[in-house]
Structure formats: C-alpha cells, structure tokens
C-alpha cells in the first residue's frame, strides 16, 4: 500500500499542481490531505476546487477553520495574519466555506494491519504544534492508541519513532518553512508485513509565478518573500 500525504497548501495553486503531478508519477494507491487549503496565498478557491475535483480525502486545518468563522479562533493574531485572514475570509466563496466547514478534524485508516491517525495539528487540538522533540509531542505519542500519527501544521517534515509508535509530519506544499521554497510532502509505504517506510519528496516549481501574483495584489512583503526564501 502506497499513500501520498499532503498538507498546508495555503492558497498556492502552482505548488499544488506541481505536487499532484509528482504524486501521479509515484503511482500511489491513495492521496490524503491534512488541511489548511486556504490562508496566505492568493488562490484559495482554485486550491479548494482542485482538491474537490480530485476527490482527495481531506481534514480541516486551523486556517481553514479561522477563515470559516472569520476570526483568530485557531490562528495567531500577527501582523501577517491581520492582512491574510481578512483577505482570505473575503476571497473564499461561500460554497467553499461550507466545504471547509464540513471537513472532519481527523481521519482513521488501517493499511495492511497498521492503524493510522491523520490530524492537522495534534489529536488534542487542531492548532497545536507537534515539533519533533517537544514535551507535548512526547506526551501525545505516549498516549497514542494508533500505530502511526500523521500530522502537519509546523510546515517542517519529520519522521521519528517513540517506542513502538511512529510520528510523521508531512511538511507543507504551499508555504514551506525549511529555508528553501520547495513544496514538500510524504510518501508512506506500508508493506504486507506491516513495515512502514517514509519518503519525503522535495519539489521544484515556478515560485516566481506566485510571487508575481502576490505583488500584483499588493500583498505584504513578508508574505511575498516567504515563497522565495522558504522562511516565515
């Protein structure tokens, strides 16, 4: 069984299209999206439309939830978000807000006898960060009833064992924070004997296109430059 997991697209249609092209070349059996389709980037409706058209199972991200309710309920009240949240709230079509609001906050699958829990942030909260060696991450993994937790939200990919439990963070397609502008996602292979193998894909795409779009829309320089630098 071969599963591609994407997340944190954040209105970057160019990165999403490149990622789906690469996934199609990997010949996976299933694609799963961990949310944050909208926020920051200038093409939230196009991203939602493509996810819907491909019928990709998707969960709700914290930025998705905040755009639905139009408030800082699940995101930080920062200078960037003071622009990005109102912009996205106004830009995302009503039908797409209904779609985002309808998404579950987690998904469970069993592949070749291995139980997977898919979340955006933490199983405990949609907007909790699970950094690799943080105390709250260790606590979550010690309490995990499933075999594998697959999450995102930090925009930083990682895979680490905690005893007999495995944590996989798939990174970010649309707004990476890895010091370079490469869209990142995970390919997870589950062998018939239950062995789990993780490969992170780092892609190149024409990020200057989204930089140009942001510039034309007078987005703040901090958002525009993040697509070039891969930094927040």
**Domain 2-229 maps to which CATH number in 3.60.21.10, 3.40.50.150, 1.10.3720.10, 1.20.120.10?**
3.60.21.10
d(CA 20, CA 51): 10
Q: Which residues of the chain have pLDDT under 70?
A: none
The encoded tokens of residue 92 equal 């995302």
Give the β-pairing of 148-151 and 114-119.
parallel
Cβ neighbourhood burial of 106 (10 Å; 0-12, 13-18, 19+): middle
How far apart, in whole angstroms, are the C-alpha atoms of residue 223 and residue 175?
Answer: 9
Hey, where are the domains in the chain?
A: 2-229
Q: Would you state the pLDDT for residue 184?
A: 98
- Phi and psi, residue 213, nearest 5°: -65, -45
Query: At residue 112, what are phi and psi to the nearest 5 degrees?
Result: 50, 40
């Amino acid at each position: 069984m071969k599963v591609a997991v994407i997340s944190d697209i954040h209105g970057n249609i160019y990165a999403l299209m490149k990622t789906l092209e690469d996934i199609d070349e990997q010949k996976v059996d299933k694609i799963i999206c961990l949310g944050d389709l909208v926020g920051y980037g200038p093409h939230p409706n196009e991203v939602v439309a493509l996810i819907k058209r491909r019928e990709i199972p998707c969960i709700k991200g914290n930025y998705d939830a905040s755009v639905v309710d139009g408030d800082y309920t699940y995101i930080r009240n920062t200078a960037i978000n003071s622009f990005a949240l109102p912009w996205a709230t106004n830009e995302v079509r009503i039908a797409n807000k209904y779609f985002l609001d309808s998404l579950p906050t987690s998904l469970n699958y069993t592949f070749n006898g291995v139980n997977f829990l898919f979340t955006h942030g933490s199983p405990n909260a949609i907007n909790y960060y699970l950094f690799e060696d943080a105390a709250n991450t260790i606590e979550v993994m010690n309490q995990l009833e499933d075999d594998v937790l697959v999450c995102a939200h930090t925009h930083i990919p990682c895979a680490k064992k905690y005893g007999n439990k495995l944590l996989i963070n798939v990174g970010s397609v649309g707004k990476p924070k890895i010091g370079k502008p490469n869209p990142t996602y995970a390919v997870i292979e589950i062998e018939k004997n239950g062995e789990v193998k993780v490969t992170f894909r780092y892609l190149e795409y024409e990020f200057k296109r989204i930089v140009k779009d942001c510039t034309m829309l007078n987005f703040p320089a901090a958002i525009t430059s993040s697509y070039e630098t891969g930094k927040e």
